[in-house]
């Protein structure tokens, strides 16, 4: 019991821990993890990933998505976004999607962490922060995943390009656009800023 209490002293509320993080403080890490999950101290998010909940006046708070993803990847080079982010562009996308996309350099596939599913996509390049120019290019990259009328959205995207910074948009298209997206947007970019 003393070893379990010693392990608990190292835990910090709001943090997500990998099993390997906790093994440095326990020789019986699996047994201790089972006990900490059973008594409600830790919540299991997925195989080998645990959360020590923060407490609010409403009870336990869920982990921040960035913290979960950072711990899962063991890396802070990622961009957490969603198809919902396109709605802010004003190009006719209004659907709400229940999936987060994580652009990163390590993992590919859909993973459930806690009660959320994240769609991890390995990309060689992505910005640290989603800019409007990046989102416009990314929207066209993912056009086939949208529930809206694609032709209508694409026409609005081309109109939107007239209102954006041409250098930033050109850079976003060059750095983040797929071959198909470049083929669709390059003529419109030339027309928009001629």
- Supply the pLDDT for residue 189: 82
Looking at the fold, whether 141 and 165 belong to one and the same domain comes out as yes
Looking at the fold, whether 58 and 70 belong to one and the same domain comes out as no
Looking at the fold, whether 10 and 73 belong to one and the same domain comes out as no
This model's pTM is above 0.75: yes
- Supply the pLDDT for residue 178: 95
Number of domains in the chain: 2
Q: In percent, how much of the chain has pLDDT > 70? A: 97
Would you list the DSSP string of 80-123? EEEGGGGGGG-SS-----S-EEEEESS--EEEEETTEEEEEEE-
pLDDT tens per residue across span 49-58: 999 999 888 8
Residue 43, helix vs strand vs coil: strand
- Supply the pLDDT for residue 7: 87
- Supply the pLDDT for residue 33: 94
Write the CB contacts of 106 (distance below 8 Å, at least 6 apart in sequence).
73, 75, 122
- Supply the pLDDT for residue 192: 57
Query: 105: how many CB neighbours lie within 10 A of its CB?
Result: 13
CA–CA dist 175, 180 (Å, integer): 13
Residue 31 half-sphere exposure toward CB, CA atoms < 13 A: 6
Question: Would the CA dihedral through 181, 182, 187, 190 be positive or negative?
Answer: positive
Looking at the fold, whether 57 and 84 belong to one and the same domain comes out as no
Of 150 and 6, the structure prediction assigns the larger pLDDT to 150
- Supply the pLDDT for residue 176: 97
CATH code at 22? 1.10.10
Looking at the fold, whether 87 and 124 belong to one and the same domain comes out as yes
Give the residue-averaged pLDDT of 151-173. 94
Looking at the fold, whether 143 and 182 belong to one and the same domain comes out as yes
What is the signed CA dihedral for 131, 135, 136, 139, rounded to 10 degrees?
A: 180
Looking at the fold, whether 58 and 151 belong to one and the same domain comes out as no
Give the residue-averaged pLDDT of 107-134. 95
pLDDT band at 1 (very low <50, low <70, confident <90, very high): low
Query: 46: how many CB neighbours lie within 10 A of its CB?
Result: 12
Task: Quote the distance between the C-alpha of residue 79 and its chain's center.
Answer: 6
Which residue segment(s) compose the domain that 115 sits in?
66-192
pLDDT tens per residue across span 52-110: 999 888 888 989 999 999 999 999 999 999 999 999 999 999 888 888 999 999 999 99
């Amino acid at each position: 019991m003393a070893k379990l209490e010693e392990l608990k002293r190292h835990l910090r509320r709001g943090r997500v821990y990998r099993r390997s993080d906790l093994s440095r403080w326990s020789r019986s890490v699996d047994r201790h993890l089972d006990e900490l999950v059973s008594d409600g101290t830790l919540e299991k998010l997925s195989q080998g990933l645990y959360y020590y909940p923060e407490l609010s006046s409403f009870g336990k708070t869920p982990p921040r998505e960035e913290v979960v993803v950072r711990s899962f990847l063991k890396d802070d080079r990622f961009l957490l976004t969603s198809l919902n982010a396109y709605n802010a562009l004003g190009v006719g996308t209004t659907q709400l999607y229940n999936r987060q996309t994580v652009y990163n350099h390590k993992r590919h596939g859909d993973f459930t962490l806690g009660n959320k599913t994240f769609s991890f996509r390995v990309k060689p390049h992505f910005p640290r922060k989603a800019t409007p120019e990046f989102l416009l290019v990314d929207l066209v990259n993912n056009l086939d995943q949208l529930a809206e009328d694609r032709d209508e959205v694409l026409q609005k995207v081309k109109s939107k390009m007239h209102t954006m910074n041409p250098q930033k948009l050109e850079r976003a298209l060059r750095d983040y656009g797929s071959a198909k997206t470049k083929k669709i947007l390059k003529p419109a970019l030339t027309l928009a800023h001629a």
